[in-house]
């Protein structure tokens, strides 16, 4: 029996409300319209590391649940070791969401499968939401028709965050957790630990737990204590 790729559980910590970007309102509105069945049936998000792709997929999953819309989320890296002909067409939901869809590029069988899926979505049979690390024209696809169809719907580029953006995002996410970071603590975190947003979000969760337990404000000494094992 083939191994069946199962949908991922979405992470409730990610929502449209805590997605911070200069174009965040437009992106959130476009994705909400898609979930609600308005406008585009195919939406693609592309951008580099930490641009917010996975965050937005999880935000869509949460919003779809709130709207009582069936939504299945996969990571395309689940697919590449599987035989696409032994897996269904993901048609038992209103929206199919696929993170890292560019992972199937170069795999002819999976490209053909998603070529067919996109065709059905174009006919409004289903809706497809996907993410890519690069714009479709730059992908190393083996099937030209699949590559061209990645640009059929609404394609949104997610900007890479600059230094000030990262500081603002970490500070605002901390505030939403009830953590007030001084400028000194924020600078310490971004100087002494990974600047990847995913890593900083994990650090904030650890600081939240430790500060609640110790009933102390977050200081540099508390950071050192909480992250001593890092």
Q: Give 5-51 pLDDT, tens digit per residue.
A: 778 888 777 889 888 877 888 999 999 999 999 889 999 999 988 88
pLDDT computed for residue 98 by the predictor: 96
**Inter-residue contact 203 to 166 (CB < 8 Å):** no
How is domain 163-226 classified at the architecture level of CATH?
A: Orthogonal Bundle (1.10)
The two three-digit tokens of residue 107, written as one number: 């795999």
Look at residue 2 and tell me whether its pLDDT is greater than 90: no
Overall CATH class of domain 24-157: alpha beta
Task: Output the average pLDDT for the chain.
Answer: 88
Beta strands in 133-179 (DSSP E): 154-157
**Inter-residue contact 220 to 214 (CB < 8 Å):** no
| Residue-range domain boundaries for the chain | 24-157, 163-226
Q: How far apart are CA 183 and CA 199, in angstroms?
A: 19
């Amino acid at each position: 029996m083939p191994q069946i790729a199962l949908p991922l559980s979405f992470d409730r910590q990610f929502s449209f409300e805590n997605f911070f970007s200069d174009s965040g309102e437009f992106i959130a509105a476009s994705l909400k319209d898609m979930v609600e069945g308005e406008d585009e049936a195919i939406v693609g998000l592309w951008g580099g590391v930490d641009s917010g792709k996975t965050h937005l997929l999880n935000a869509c999953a949460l919003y779809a649940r709130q709207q009582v819309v069936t939504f299945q989320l996969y990571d395309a890296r689940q697919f590449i070791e599987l035989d696409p002909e032994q897996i269904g067409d993901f048609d038992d939901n209103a929206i199919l969401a696929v993170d890292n869809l560019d992972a199937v590029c170069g795999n002819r069988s999976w490209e053909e499968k998603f070529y067919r899926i996109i065709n059905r979505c174009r006919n409004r049979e289903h809706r497809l939401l996907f993410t890519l690390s690069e714009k479709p024209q730059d992908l190393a696809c083996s099937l030209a028709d699949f590559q061209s169809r990645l640009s059929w719907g609404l394609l949104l580029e997610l900007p890479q965050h600059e230094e000030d953006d990262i500081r603002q995002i970490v500070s605002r996410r901390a505030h939403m957790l009830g953590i007030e970071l001084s400028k000194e603590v924020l600078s310490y975190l971004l100087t002494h630990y990974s600047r990847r947003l995913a890593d900083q979000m994990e650090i904030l969760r650890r600081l939240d737990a430790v500060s609640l337990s110790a009933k102390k404000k977050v200081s540099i000494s508390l950071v050192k204590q909480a992250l001593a094992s890092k």
